Amino acid sequence: MLSLVEVVVKLSRPSLRGIPTVVALALLLQLVVSAAWAQTGTAALVGDVTDTQKQVIPGASITLSNIGTGASQTTVSDERGTYRFGSVQPGRYNIKVELSGFKTSVIERVELQVDSVARQNIALEIGGISETVSVVAASMQLNTIDASVGNVISREQIRSLPVEAQNVVHLLSLQPGAVFIPTANPATVDPRYGSVAGARADQQSVTLDGIDVNDPQLSTAYTSAIRMTQEALQEFRVSTSNFNAEMGRSSGPQVSLITRSGTNQFDGSGYWTGRRTATSSNEYFLKLSQLSSGKPSQAPKLNKDIFGGSFGGPIRRNKLFFFGNIEALREQSEAPVLRNVPSNSMRDGVLMYRCAVAALCPGGTVRGVTANHTVDAGFYGMTPAEIAAIDPLGIGPSAAALAYFRKYPSPNDPGRDGRNLMDYRFAAPIENQFLNLISRVDYKAANNHSFFGRFGKQNDTINTAPQFEGLDPLRQRLFNNYGGAVGYDSVLSPTLTNSFRYGFTKIDENNAGLTKNNYVNFRFISPYEGFGSSFTDTRQTPTQNFVNDLSWFKGRHTMKVGTNIRFTRVPKERFQSSYLSATVNPSWVAGVGRRNMPGSSFCTLPGCSLPAVATAFQGGYADTWLNLLGVLSQATQRANYNKDGTPQAPGTAVGREIGSDEFEFYVQDAWQLRSNLTVTAGVRYGIYSPPFEVNGLQVAPTVSMGQWFDTRAANALKGIPSNASQIITFDLAGPKNGKPGFYAWDKNNLAPRLAVAWTPTERIVIRGGYSKVFDRVGVGLATNFDEGFAYGMSTQISSPFGLAYETNPGARFRGIDQMPPTMPAAPAGGFPQTPPIRAGVITTTIDDTLVTPSAHMGSAIIGFDLGKNYTIEAGYVGRFGRDLLARRDLAMPLNLMDPASGTDYFTAAQSIIRAAQAAGLSSNSPASAYAGLPAVAYWQNIFPAAAGGGLTATQAITRAFMQNGPDWITALYDMDTSCDPACSKFGPYAYFAEQYDSLAAISSIGRSNYNALNLTLRRRFADGVQFDFNYTLAKSEDMGSQVERGSAFGNFSNGGNSGFLVNSFDPELNYGTSDFDIRHQINANWLVELPFGQGKRFGSGVNGFVNQVIGDWSVAGLMRWNSGFPFNVANCRSCWATNWNLQGNAMLVDPNDLPQTGTTRNKVDNRPSPFVDPVAALTKFRRALPGEAGVRNIFRGDGYYTLDMSVSKAWSLGIADHRLRFRWDVFNATNTPKFDVGQLTNTPDTPGFGRYNGTLATCDAQAGRCMQFALRYEF
């Protein structure tokens, strides 16, 4: 007969054609098998009973009693002397062992921790049963059961470690391999925040008392949908890697939180924690901005008050218990905010630029509309009249635009170019209110049956920063989250136990925004009123969760089977797609704004005789030029429709309800081959519905978009042009409409787990294992797709790209809500619906070939019990992701092959560009200069019509490229869509897709590799001392590190293009160091009760008065340090080499010659830089060529560091167990600023290249150093 271990091994290799067999097997096992190790959210105890000669003793009675509640369970050692307790509430216990002929043995204060299995072997002495031998437990802290990686954070740590604003989620990161950076917004799309052991930041799974409390849409790291307070949290465990089959809602770390329970003793607290500005230091860059504008350095306001209380105890001793906590937070603070503003000269109608020949520009002054402005040497200041002389309409700076610009405050930060488009940094006032209520009731019905109920609620009012001083908050967010859980644990027999949980958790969020009408934005200038960046929306995310675990002890086997079922609905209303908009977008006009520029060959008006613009300032010129003229180049139509195709009234909310159903089953066997060797094997199976719109308001392409892309790519290799591709049509989709969904059900999510743990001696454990895990994806994808890109349901169309909008008088700015006549008309409703042909659309879609991303995890760990409460572990942890989500462009222009010459487009384009560069040709070279270039067969064969005017096809094409360079793809666009200078022999749209210039999708084509060495040294709390020390040496590589909740064009850059596959046809070009990769990482925490006062080492005999002075002092702290984060250098401001919508990164001139990095102060505009010499660094880069994506994440900037300290003093109030405690916490005690590579001026052709613009700040990311003070009464 096969053991369950062998069955599981066989199950890990099926060829699944469906799920009925697997589901039926899981349900059958659920009915007839198992009882457990620790179920999620509980603990377990196992051990052997022997005599003093190590001979096993069967039939001994073992009673496990909870010290706090008196709850007890009893079992009997089996024929091998083994006993087990499964699904036990975490806490401290006593163990009593009785057997006739032996003395009764009592093991006191055994610590059972959440999601952990403790081993306590017991040796009985010969004697009378009435004789008792009592010892205090000194059990090994090491995991001797399985291969899981992760530490438990105890109640002592939760209560004593310094936590800013008592935000206990910060403690979740105190694990080996956990990446942490401070942020005021847990929903950030920064992939660094929350990545653990190579897993992406949105793959954490959090349970509270065994119930799912994740945000199913946003999947934010280090958070719970029901906020837990420091006071109400008993303990938690973070399993970072290689967890067993009972875990695995997602593939990242599994976080188990446990709510405090009442005990047989009444206890409670009343507390206050305060933070004040006077004890805070200024944020680094805010201080620089204040000083540069002549103001004194003033730390932002950082006032917080937290107050609350708790009370718990018995309703009926040993039977019924309660615990409750209420906590409120009132915050009056200021957040350092950076906004983009026009310079004083720009708002007065002056355009400043750097001259190509510095000697032609001696500097001086220039007259604007109202005042004179200083011009530095090497720069030229264009007067309003000189701007009008180059303006094709002869108008010059828009009077309406200048009037709008004058609303803005004067800049105090260099900003984008330091001359025209600058920044304003200020301390924005914020007032927030938070309220938490948490309660729990526990009932012990009988020795073998127990129940609990838990309810939590939070009411928050969160105001975001205003756009500028004196304005209303950009958004007010109201949360009314609540949730509850009930649990029933039963010991059905000495070998059979069951644990059931049901939970309901609801996120209820209402966001009030400022945008109420159509709006206009100026690119690179923050909208003054916040229109276009602040919308009203609501969402609710009710999730029902059913969890059951059944366990069976049989001989040497501990078998377990369970199920975890979740039903989620996300009803939403939003206004983001309810209004029309128009944008001054320099990238949307012909020549990306550079054709009306002194020095350009396209600039032929008399005013173009001004000194030529320097190459490094051309982007700065073009961006300022179009903004000054107020050219509304990109007008965007947004239209919403009902299911029957009737249009929705403009300006009304768009409502959707996204649903998902998730079913998971697992089976597991922990086989104790010998007393010191355990093999745990299991398999978890999950099947997840594709997300769907509950009411049928769902559309999808009728063409498989993944196959459409694959067909285009395959055709390109055969020389078949893009205009042969199938036209895309949208139709109703989803189960409510009786049609396929966004993508197919994935029925192959079978995840085997295997672990081995061997204890060759009582103080050594060697363990390792393998796990396959699956990501949880879907709801975020569907929500993002629906919000503006579900063509025919929510349609978004922009005016065509590349027209000379500056020649159209109607396209000039008239008012912040006035739309230009170039606004596209809304298409008619109804389905099926076909997006327009050749309309230059840039949008997103869903790749229907998506499969569930997975990862293979492995570990090998050795641990030592060093004695005296010390343990050390060292080991290897690996993670290898496959089918990961990656962002790519399905409509990317083809790398079209010429079968006759055997050459593809990328190769042919690179060859002629390099030849022209070698010949010294530039954008201003005359046509005759190209006559000497040799013919290239690709261009001769594909573009024969380009020949003429004395030039071959190759020479004419080369000139077109060089006139647009380094914006190479615009040259291809002009040729392919406008036949300029000629179309290919296939006609228009041989390279570009006819319906989309760019079509972003998130596809499951990525991969990753993570390899790490972990080292953990721990001392459990004893004799007043506890500490953890974690060190990780790691390397993480991937093709993209982005979280699902970001836009399909989402591209957190670490200073460049990192999160999007720039070349969809060669995704491996993006494979490199992960955005969250850190080579070295240390985190540590400690708690020390000082040895002074009564009962301590020093002053043990002092009187009460002296003891009140010298006794009950403690110090605690935590430290985080990691080596530098990776960053990139972008290609340039207006350089699209390979992809139409994203520039990509710069290339190195010599791949073996990297610029020297290392944080330097005052290097760029008196700001720090990651480069030792930013000017020299510029010489190391070149612009990418067609087909190239640029180098990714090979440079290193600052890492993160903080040292947080706490000092505490308690006084006895003269009543038994009543105490008053004072605490002083200091965060970033050394006031060390660490600069953020995510806030870096990284474009080589932008003034200020290499300049840091922000820090990884502490205290809600608002300050350099801050302090908080606490007063607590407890009994």
Are 1084 and 966 in the same domain? no
Domain that holds residue 1075: 1000-1274
Are 132 and 193 in the same domain? no
Question: Is 476 in a helix, a strand, or coil?
Answer: strand
Which pLDDT score, from 0 to 100, does residue 10 have? 41
pLDDT 10s digits, 165-217: 777 877 888 999 999 998 888 888 899 999 999 999 999 999 999 999 999 99
pLDDT 10s digits, 716-745: 999 999 999 999 999 999 999 999 999 999
Average pLDDT along the chain = 92
Once rounded to an integer, what is the mean pLDDT over residues 335-361?
A: 97
Once rounded to an integer, what is the mean pLDDT over residues 67-73?
A: 90
Are 1038 and 1187 in the same domain? yes
Are 1086 and 946 in the same domain? no
Q: Which of 971, 384, 847, 427 is nearest to 625 (CA)?
A: 384
283 found inside a domain? no
Question: Is 373 in a helix, a strand, or coil?
Answer: strand
Are 1113 and 1258 in the same domain? yes
What's the CA dihedral at 408, 409, 413, 419 to 10 degrees?
60
pLDDT tops 80 at residue 840: yes
Which pLDDT score, from 0 to 100, does residue 1056 have? 62
Q: Give the integer Cα–Cα distance in Å for 1190 and 1072.
A: 11
Which pLDDT score, from 0 to 100, does residue 22 have? 39
Are 947 and 1022 in the same domain? no
Q: For residue 185, how far is the Cα from the chain centroid?
A: 10
Which pLDDT score, from 0 to 100, does residue 38 have? 56
Phi, psi of 815 (to 5 degrees): 180, 160
pLDDT 10s digits, 362-415: 999 999 999 999 999 999 999 999 999 999 999 999 999 999 999 999 999 999
199 found inside a domain? yes
Q: Which of 808-812, 921-925, 1261-1265 has the highest mean pLDDT?
A: 808-812
Which pLDDT score, from 0 to 100, does residue 895 have? 98
Query: Angle formed by the axes of helices 953-964 and 905-918, to 10°?
Result: 80
Least confident stretch, 73-77, 604-608, 1046-1050, 1072-1076 = 1046-1050
Query: Angle formed by the axes of helices 905-918 and 968-978, to 10°?
Result: 120
Domain stops at, among 262, 281, 296: 262
pLDDT tops 60 at residue 1026: yes
Confidence of residue 1045 (pLDDT cuts 50, 70, 90): confident
pLDDT 10s digits, 291-303: 999 999 999 999 9
Domain stops at, among 236, 262, 288: 262
The answer to whether residues 729 and 685 touch, using CB atoms and an 8 Å cutoff, is no
pLDDT tops 70 at residue 914: yes
1061 found inside a domain? yes
Which pLDDT score, from 0 to 100, does residue 39 have? 60
Confidence of residue 550 (pLDDT cuts 50, 70, 90): very high
Are 905 and 1023 in the same domain? no
Q: Give the integer Cα–Cα distance in Å for 760 and 453.
A: 42
pLDDT tops 50 at residue 21: no
* DSSP-assigned letter for residue 294: T
Confidence of residue 1259 (pLDDT cuts 50, 70, 90): confident
Q: Give the integer Cα–Cα distance in Å for 801 and 583.
A: 13
pLDDT tops 80 at residue 139: no
Q: Give the integer Cα–Cα distance in Å for 682 and 1127.
A: 40
Which pLDDT score, from 0 to 100, does residue 643 have? 92
Q: Give the integer Cα–Cα distance in Å for 437 and 308.
A: 10
Percent with pLDDT over 90 in the chain: 81
The answer to whether residues 334 and 427 touch, using CB atoms and an 8 Å cutoff, is yes
Q: Mention every residue, 6+ apart, whose C-beta is less than 8 A from residue 278.
A: none
Are 97 and 197 in the same domain? no
The answer to whether residues 415 and 285 touch, using CB atoms and an 8 Å cutoff, is no
Least confident stretch, 83-87, 511-515, 576-580 = 83-87
The answer to whether residues 318 and 444 touch, using CB atoms and an 8 Å cutoff, is yes
Whichever domain contains 204, its CATH number is: 2.170.130.10
Are 964 and 1043 in the same domain? no
Which pLDDT score, from 0 to 100, does residue 789 have? 64
| β-bridge mates for residue 873, sequence order | 863, 1016
Which pLDDT score, from 0 to 100, does residue 790 have? 82
Which pLDDT score, from 0 to 100, does residue 787 have? 66
Q: Which of 1255, 1254, 1207, 1210 is nearest to 1229 (CA)?
A: 1207
Which pLDDT score, from 0 to 100, does residue 1054 have? 62
pLDDT tops 50 at residue 15: no
Whichever domain contains 113, its CATH number is: 2.60.40.1120
Are 77 and 52 in the same domain? yes
* DSSP-assigned letter for residue 290: H
Q: Which of 133, 171, 211, 788 is nearest to 456 (CA)?
A: 211
120 found inside a domain? yes
Once rounded to an integer, what is the mean pLDDT over residues 1024-1028?
A: 94
Q: Which of 618, 714, 788, 728 is nearest to 1245 (CA)?
A: 618
Inter-CA distances, 681 with 8, 592, 752, 770, 1021, Å: 7, 60, 8, 10, 33
Q: Give the integer Cα–Cα distance in Å for 1091 and 1093.
A: 7
Are 109 and 248 in the same domain? no
The answer to whether residues 49 and 124 touch, using CB atoms and an 8 Å cutoff, is yes
Least confident stretch, 543-547, 637-641, 655-659, 779-783 = 779-783
Where is 717: in which H helix or E strand?
A: helix 705-717
Phi, psi of 888 (to 5 degrees): -145, 170
Confidence of residue 5 (pLDDT cuts 50, 70, 90): very low
Q: Which of 251, 301, 259 is nearest to 279 (CA)?
A: 301
Once rounded to an integer, what is the mean pLDDT over residues 1080-1091?
A: 97
The 10 Å CB-count burial string (b at 16+, else e) for 208-243 is bbbbbbbbbbbbbbbbbbbbbbbbbbbbbbbbbbbb
pLDDT tops 70 at residue 1055: no
Max CA pair span of the chain:
114
Question: Is 65 in a helix, a strand, or coil?
Answer: strand
Integer Rg of the chain from CA: 33
1066 found inside a domain? yes
Q: Give the integer Cα–Cα distance in Å for 1066 and 717.
A: 13
Q: Give the integer Cα–Cα distance in Å for 662 and 566.
A: 5
Q: Give the integer Cα–Cα distance in Å for 251 and 883.
A: 13
pLDDT 10s digits, 1133-1172: 889 999 999 899 999 999 999 999 999 999 999 999 999 9
Which pLDDT score, from 0 to 100, does residue 1051 have? 63
Once rounded to an integer, what is the mean pLDDT over residues 1031-1047?
A: 93
Once rounded to an integer, what is the mean pLDDT over residues 827-851?
A: 91
The answer to whether residues 452 and 443 touch, using CB atoms and an 8 Å cutoff, is yes
Name the domain count of the chain: 4
Which pLDDT score, from 0 to 100, does residue 18 have? 39
Once rounded to an integer, what is the mean pLDDT over residues 244-252?
A: 92
pLDDT tops 50 at residue 14: no
Once rounded to an integer, what is the mean pLDDT over residues 246-267?
A: 93
Q: Give the integer Cα–Cα distance in Å for 1156 and 1169.
A: 11
Are 1178 and 1091 in the same domain? yes
Q: Determine how β-strand 699-701 pairs with β-strand 764-774.
A: unpaired
237 found inside a domain? yes
Which pLDDT score, from 0 to 100, does residue 26 have? 41
Which pLDDT score, from 0 to 100, does residue 1052 have? 63
Which pLDDT score, from 0 to 100, does residue 1059 have? 86
Confidence of residue 4 (pLDDT cuts 50, 70, 90): very low
pLDDT tops 90 at residue 1270: yes
Query: Angle formed by the axes of helices 968-978 and 953-964, to 10°?
Result: 130
571 found inside a domain? no
pLDDT 10s digits, 81-131: 999 998 888 999 999 999 998 999 999 989 898 888 888 999 999 988 878
66 found inside a domain? yes
Q: Which of 1113, 1207, 1271 is nearest to 270 (CA)?
A: 1271
Domain stops at, among 970, 990, 1010: 990
